[in-house]
Amino acid sequence: MPKSRTTIAIDDDVMRAVRVRAARSGRGDGEVIEEALRSALGFDLFTRLWERADMDAEAAIALAVEAQHESRPRRPRP
């Protein structure tokens, strides 16, 4: 997965906690921060849902297209 480099300001106490967690888990600061962001943004929920999904990609696309068509307002025929 491609990564983007960015600069942000983080509270000193938060950054200290990141460094402690990173050191205890043998990971880098960036990995710990990314994991926390993914969790806060709900990425872990999507991962768990995909792991439990038993529908193949083709069926999922067909279902999504059907839902899209059903949600559109019907146009009167001329």
**Tokens (6 digits) for 26:** 């043998």
Q: Report pLDDT digits (tens) over 1-46.
A: 788 999 999 999 999 999 999 999 999 999 999 999 988 887 777 6
Q: Report pLDDT digits (tens) over 40-68.
A: 887 777 667 767 777 788 888 888 888 88
Distances (CA, A) of 60 to 30, 38, 44, 70: 33, 24, 20, 15
CA-based torsion, 62, 68, 71, 73: positive or negative: negative
The enclosing H or E element of 42 equals: none
pLDDT at 21: 97
